[in-house]
Amino acid sequence: MSIATMVQVLGEGFLVSLQIFFITLLGALPLGVPVALLRMSRLAPVRAVTRFYISVMRGTPLMLQMFAIYFAPYYVFGMPLSTDSKWHATIVAFIINYAAYFAEIYRSGLQSIPRGQYEAAEVLGYSKAQTFFVIVLPQVVKRIMPSLGNEVITLVKDTSLAFAIGVGEMFSEAKALVAAQVSMVPFAIAAVIYWVFNFLVEIGLGRIEKRLDYYHD
């Protein structure tokens, strides 16, 4: 098999990786906000439950979480498994896992804002919503961008874990090609594709950080 054909096959697998990547971001980034707010709730039981959820998500392997979500409907409810079940389990596992990480990043950003800024905004007549969106949120976004960027880059690489339950993303295709061709070339090509995409993500995140430079501490 020629290198061009390998690149084509791996490219088709990478499209699946991209779907996992973007769907996870679309689900986990907004979901992390309410999780962070619940983690900071004044109600102790709410904080405890949210903290437990975050602890489980961060303290157990993502691969194990995928297996649990994939097999739970069958073993708990007797529901049949299908190809779609693998995809759904992957997406759900990635979203709830990364939402926990994003929530902690959001929480650290929110708690880094001095209390005096809230009090000053109140004196100036700002409502709570205005205070959050006009004063607090821009500063939080700037402060959490480096940490958020690290998680986004990690997500690119973590999409390869989907192979564990049979989702045909790029790493799955690379493994199949290596076995069929008895060559490490497919792995090398996959590594280059991962690196190039991560490089593009880094450039995009860097531009976002530069645009936020006018928010000075």
> pLDDT tens across 120-156, in order?
888 878 887 888 778 887 888 888 888 999 999 999 9
Query: Angle at Cα 30 formed by Cα 24 and Cα 34, nearest 5°?
Result: 130
> Which pLDDT does position 122 carry in this prediction?
81
> Which pLDDT does position 131 carry in this prediction?
82
Tell the burial category of 54 from Cβ atoms under 10 Å away from its Cβ (0-12, 13-18, 19+): buried
Is residue 47 very low, low, confident or very high in pLDDT (cuts 50, 70, 90)?
very high
Asked if pLDDT for residue 77 goes beyond 90, the answer is no
CA dihedral 90, 91, 95, 97 (to 10 degrees): 0
- All structural domains of the chain with their residue ranges: 19-170
> Which pLDDT does position 112 carry in this prediction?
86
Selecting from 1.10.3720.10, 3.40.50.920, 1.20.59.20, 3.40.640.10, what CATH number does the domain 19-170 have? 1.10.3720.10
Close Cβ partners of 44 (under 8 Å, ≥ 6 residues apart): none
Is residue 209 very low, low, confident or very high in pLDDT (cuts 50, 70, 90)?
confident
Q: In Å, what is the CA distance from 129 to each residue of 132, 137, 146, 159? A: 5, 10, 26, 36
3-state SS, residue 201: helix
Mean pLDDT across the chain: 89
> Which pLDDT does position 162 carry in this prediction?
92
141-197 per-position pLDDT tens digit: 888 888 999 999 999 999 999 998 888 889 899 988 888 888 899 999 999 999 999
- Which is higher by pLDDT, 78 or 37? 37
Is residue 4 very low, low, confident or very high in pLDDT (cuts 50, 70, 90)?
confident
Percent above pLDDT 70 for the chain: 98
Q: Which of 58, 51, 18 is closest to 170 using CA atoms?
A: 18
Close Cβ partners of 140 (under 8 Å, ≥ 6 residues apart): 106, 109, 110, 112, 113
